[in-house]
Amino acid sequence: MADVETIERVREIEVDKYKYGFETELESELAPKGLNEDIVKFISAKKGEPDWMLEWRLEAYARWRQMTEPTWAKVDYPKIDFEDLYYYAAPKVQGDGPKSLDEVDPELLRTYEKLGIPLKEQEVLAGVEGARVAVDAVFDSVSVVTTFKEELAKAGVIFCPISEAVREHPELVKKYLGSVVPQADNFYAALNSAVFSDGSFVYIPEGVRCPMELSTYFRINEKNTGQFERTLIIADKGSYVSYLEGCTAPMRDENQLHAAVVELVALDDAEIKYSTVQNWYPGDSEGKGGIYNFVTKRADCRGHHSKVSWTQVETGSAITWKYPSCILRGDNSRGEFYSIAISNGKQQVDSGTKMIHLGKNSSSRIISKGIAAGRSDNTYRGLVSAHRKATNARNFTQCDSLLIGDRCGAHTVPYIEAKTSTAQFEHEATTSKISDDQMFYCQARGLNEEEAVALIVNGFVRDVIQQLPMEFMAETQRLIGISLEGSVG
C-alpha cells in the first residue's frame, strides 16, 4: 500500500529528480590518477595488507593487462580511459580512523542520514518499526562504519569491511577469496581483483541463523573515481543469512566507473538470500553523466541442499552489465534469480543470470521483469546449462518485458544447454505494453498519468517485489514510481 507514498515522492522530486544526487563536501585523500603496479601497491599499503594479499592483487593486475574489454553486451558507450581514473579515494581522517560512531566525521553521518540509512544502532530504518539491520557503510574506497558488530559477534557472525577481514581473518579470506570468481574471470573482475578497495565480509558459522538482516550501502562521492568493492559471503553448513546492498551516487556530468565483484559460498544445507537495490545515478534524460556499472556476481552452491537466492532491483546507472549467477555444484542445490530492471531516459541495461547445473537434482528458478521507458534499451541475457552429471536438473524461467512508449527497446537473449537428457528446462517469455485502455481505466478512477504508470508497473513486478525483505518492499515500490517519472506524456 505504498502507492500513495509513491505519488508524494514523485511530486517531491519534480524539482530534483534524482534525490540522492547531492555531493558531500569532504576533504579526500586520493591516489594519483591512472593504474600501474605502484597504485596497486599504494592501495594495498593503505589497507595495511599482508604480503600474500598484495601478491594476489599484482597477479590479477598482470592478468588484467593482458585482457581486453568485452563487447558482446548490447550496450554502447565511449571507450573508457582507464588511465584517467582515480583508483583510490578516502575521506581524510586524523590518525587511525574511527573506532566507533562517535569518531566518524559528522559530515559523513549526515550524508547517510540524508540517504535514509541508519548508522546509529538505536535507529531503525525510516518507517519500519522493530526492524533492525546491521549496516556496513562504504564511502568511495573505504568502509566508514559497521554497526551491530558486537551483537553479531555474540552469535559468532563475522560482519566487517573486507579490508579488516584480510587482516583479522586471513585464513577465511585466503580460503574463499577468488574461489568463486577467479582473479582473471573477466576483464572487470580482474581489474577489481587488482584494485578493490573495500566492501563487506560476512561469515556465518555452522548452524547459525544470522540474527538480523545484514546490509551494505555503497556511495560514490569523489569525482572521476572508480569504485571497486569486493564482497565475500560465506555461509557455513546449515546456516542462513539475508543480505541487502544499496547503492547511490551524486549527480555528475562525467561518467563514473563501478566494477564490483561479489562472491557467495553456500556449504551443505546453507542458505543465502542476497538482495540488491541499485540506484546509482542514471545520468540525465539526454544520457549525460551516470554510473557505468560493470559487476560480476556469482554464487557457488558448493554443498548439498544449499540454496542461494538473488533478488535485484536495478533502477539506476547509465550502463548496467550484470549477471548474478549460481553454480549449482551440490546435489539438490537450488538457485533463484528474481530481477526487476527498469530503464528510462537513455539508460542501457544488459542483465540476466547464469544457472549452471552440476549437481544431481539441482533446481533453479528465474523470474525476470524488464521495464523499458524513454529511449532506453533493456536486455535480458541468461544461460541455463546442465552438465552431463546433473541428472534431473530442473529450471523454470519466466522472462517478461514491459514497454512504455514507442522509443525504447526490450530484448531477450536466452541460452539453454542441456547435456543430460534427464534435464527439464522450461522457458516462458512475454513482451507487453501498458495499454491505453489500462491507463484510461486508472485515470477514470482518479489516478493521474504517473500514478497510473507506477501502479501498473508495480503490479507487473509484484512476483519479484514479494521476494524482497519486508523492510525494503515499500521503498522499492516508491523507487519504481520515481524511476519512471517523466516516462509518459
Residues near another protein (CB under 8 A) are 1, 3-4, 7, 435-438, 440-448, 451, 455-456, 458-463
Q: Smallest gap, in angstroms, from Cβ of residue 205 to another protein?
A: 39
The HSE-up count of residue 462 (CA atoms within 13 Å, CB side) is 7
Q: Smallest gap, in angstroms, from Cβ of residue 428 to another protein?
A: 14
Q: Smallest gap, in angstroms, from Cβ of residue 150 to another protein?
A: 38
Which residues contact residue 307 at a Cβ distance below 8 angstroms, ignoring those fewer than 6 apart? 266, 270, 271, 272, 301, 333, 334, 335, 336
Q: How far apart are the C-alpha atoms of 398 and 267, rounded to whole Å?
A: 28
Of 415 and 440, CB closest to another protein: 440
Of 205 and 405, CB closest to another protein: 405
One-letter identity of residue 54:
L
Cell numbers for 138: 562504504
Of 77 and 441, CB closest to another protein: 441
CB-CB neighbours of 37 under 10 Å:
13
Of 185 and 451, CB closest to another protein: 451
Q: Smallest gap, in angstroms, from Cβ of residue 465 to another protein?
A: 9
Of 146 and 311, CB closest to another protein: 311
Q: Smallest gap, in angstroms, from Cβ of residue 459 to another protein?
A: 3
Of 327 and 474, CB closest to another protein: 474
CB-CB neighbours of 66 under 10 Å:
8
Q: How far apart are the C-alpha atoms of 234 and 237, rounded to whole Å?
A: 10
**DSSP state string for 265-327:** EE-TT-EEEEEEEE------TTS-SEEEEEEEEEEEE-STT-EEEEEEEE---SEEEE--EEE
Of 276 and 458, CB closest to another protein: 458
3-state SS assignment for residue 61: helix
Which DSSP state fits 79?
A: P
Q: Smallest gap, in angstroms, from Cβ of residue 192 to another protein?
A: 37
Q: Smallest gap, in angstroms, from Cβ of residue 418 to another protein?
A: 31
- Give all strands (DSSP E) within 142-270, no chain letters: 142-146, 158-161, 200-204, 213-219, 230-235, 240-248, 255-258, 261-266
